[in-house]
Amino acid sequence: MITSAGCNVLDYALAGPASIDAVDANPRQTALLELKLAGIKTLAHADFFQIFGVGRHPHFDEIYQDCLRPVLSAAARQFWDSRGAWFSERGGGFYFHGLSGTVARVFRAYLRLRPRLAGHIEALFNATTLAEQRERYDAHVAPLLWTRSLNWALSRQLTLSMLGVPHPQRRQVVAQHHAGVAGFVRESLTFLAHHLPFRDNYFYAVYVRGQYQPDCCPEYLKPAQFARLKAGLAARIVPHTSTVTEFLQHQRTPISRFVLLDHMDWMSSYYPQALAEEWAAIFARATPDARIIFRSAHAEPNYLDHVRLPHSGLALRDLLRFDTARAAALTDQDRVHTYAGFHIAHVLG
């Protein structure tokens, strides 16, 4: 799977696969996953949660030197040696660092200027029933939140790039939504407010609060699951800094599951040939019953028809069978809800 920040890798490890290769072209993502793995290996849950749940630890520097650093790779050490301040109290904490952390910090500053809205948003995350949440959102949050300035900020490519949304994805969203990016985000949040509880929606809570809470966090941060990872499941994760294609070309063991996130959106726009090569490598390594999941800013991304495999010339759509009913059912439960398309594909034998 693609590593990204590593939270999903750890949550997948809890499902008990034989092994997970966590692959990312960006060495910073590998460094972050390594830091989390080092914490699981060497720390008690309380310190681990303080660092990765709260995002701040008063003794981070000592813990880093004594426990975490010795079990990191040379590349991860080089990255973290100069970045301990990200976990300090003074800097606001880890979740207010990096690009998306900066957006979170700006949003927090904005909420300080609008205390009434801030109060209603906090109440939204504390609502105990869906009916109460819906009522609070419609009556109090939506009218205060959707101002022209927020619509403007959400429509800027700068904001989107900082949130990890490249230009090709923005184009896809704009092509599908008459009210543009802001309209799409508004529709997504309204769906969430009406249908899925915010109380445990840690994907958004971390943006608003700048930290997770014990009852609103990814699974790997919960004490019982942390204990399972520490007891052996985390040791099944192998981080790699490389592209998916490079990794697969050096990989000999067959792979039964692929988690590709949304990276095909940018690759299909900028490097369609490289994406075709990546799929050739996926098919070369996939077991006969392999399952591949990915998502896209477009409900039916056109790369499924346009990307053609190097030798056969066949389109991806001809080589995969899609479980559309299951994907649709899972999309309804998606707590982020900003990807129009989620796909579960089976390799055709």
Ligand X SMILES: C[S@@+](CC[C@H](N)C(=O)[O-])C[C@H]1O[C@@H](n2cnc3c(N)ncnc32)[C@H](O)[C@@H]1O
- Provide the 3-class DSSP secondary structure of residue 231: coil
Q: Which of 164, 166, 168, 180 binds ligand X (CB under 6 A)?
A: 164
Query: C-beta of 3: minimal distance to ligand X in Å?
Result: 6
User: Residue 243 CB, nearest distance to ligand X (Å)?
Assistant: 4
Nearer to ligand X, 50 or 169 (CB): 169
Name the nearest CA neighbour of 110 among 54, 52, 154, 162.
154
Between the two ends of the chain, the Cα-to-Cα distance in Å is: 22
Task: Report the nearest approach of ligand X to the CB of residue 145 (Å).
Answer: 22
Q: In the complex with ligand X, which residue's Cβ is closer, 26 or 287?
A: 26
* Nearest-10 Cα torsion for 45, 209, 237, 287: 140
Indicate whether 244 belongs to the interface with ligand X (CB under 6 A).
yes
Question: What gap in Å lies between CA 287 and CA 346, rounded to an integer?
Answer: 10
Beta strand spans in the chain (E): 20-24, 237-241, 255-259, 286-296, 320-322, 341-347
Nearer to ligand X, 174 or 261 (CB): 261
Place of tokens 């591949």: 292
Which of 87-95, 213-221, 255-263, 280-288 is the region at the interface with ligand X (rule: CB under 6 A)?
A: 255-263
Residue 133 is a binding residue for ligand X (CB under 6 A)? no
List the x/- string, 284-303, binding to ligand X by CB under 6 A. Answer: -----------x--------
How many residues bind ligand X, per CB under 6 A? Answer: 15
Is 201 a residue that touches ligand X (CB under 6 A)? no
Judged by CB under 6 A, the chain residues 264 through 283 that form the site for ligand X are 267
Give 29 or 172: the residue with its C-beta nearer to ligand X: 29
Cα distance between residue 212 and residue 260, in whole Å: 25
Q: 3-class SS at 321?
A: strand
Asked if residue 145 binds ligand X (CB under 6 A), the reply is no
Cα separations in angstroms, 99 against 102, 104, 158: 5, 9, 10
* Residue 296 near residue 343 (C-beta atoms within 8 A): yes
Between 24 and 34, CB nearer to ligand X: 24
Residue 4 binds ligand X (CB under 6 A) = yes
Using the rule CB under 6 A, is 255 a contact of ligand X?
no
CA 286 to chain centre: 24
Which residues are 238's β-sheet partners?
Answer: 21
Helices 167-176 & 180-195 angle (0-180, nearest 10)? 80
Q: Give the x/- contact pattern for ligand X in 11-50, rule: CB under 6 A.
A: ------------xxxx--x---------------------
Range in contact with ligand X (rule: CB under 6 A) among 149-157, 202-210, 258-266, 299-307 = 258-266
The yes or no reply on residue 340 touching ligand X (CB under 6 A) is no
Query: Is the Cβ of residue 63 or residue 265 nearer to ligand X in the bound state?
Result: 265
Q: What is the token pair recorded at 320?
A: 């995969």
Q: CB of 2: closest distance to ligand X in angstroms?
A: 5
DSSP 100-159: HHHHHHHHHHHHHH-HHHHHHHHHHHH-SSHHHHHHHIIIIIHHHH--HHHHHHHH-HHH
* Site for ligand X, rule CB under 6 A: 2, 4, 23-26, 29, 164, 243-244, 261-263, 267, 295
